[in-house]
Structure 1
Amino acid sequence: MKRSADNKLKVVAVRVNPQVEHRLRLLAEATGRNQSFFLQQIIERGIAAMEETWLPPTTLAKIRRGDFPELQQPGATPDLFGE
């Protein structure tokens, strides 16, 4: 599939402790895949659980219907790491 503005992958930065990074690097090296592949898998498989835990039922219902609510203004939600 040719990439367009609508289906272009986005970059997300995340800080992890050195042990997690080391485990991720070992997994990537042992399998011949890159770290991004495994991070993508982790996110895709875990986001539903996080949504169920953290989102209000009305927002979750909209997402499940494919109706994604607009995001808040950048900076409106504090960084989880306090930085």
Structure 2
Amino acid sequence: MDEVMKQSPEHITRENVEIIFKKNNENVIDTLIDLWNIEEPKVHETDAEKDKWANIRDVCDSYDIEMQTHLNRMKANR
């Protein structure tokens, strides 16, 4: 049973694993197949995560704009 727990998806509780294990007559392979066929619940992105990535994009965009401005100045000075 411990080997099944080690190989089961993270979001499944031990109680659910035991139920599926008993349903499959304690067959490890069938139990693992059933466990990995269970759909993982959807994780919604939080506003904090969205804000973090928006901030990262803003920083990168600002850097790109600044580099483009600098390169255009260098090209004009030739």
Same-fold call, TM cutoff 0.5: no
Higher RCO (CA < 8 A, seq sep 6+): 2
| TM-score, length of structure 2 as denominator length | 0.25
Higher Rg of the two aligned structures:
2
| TM-score, length of structure 1 as denominator length | 0.24
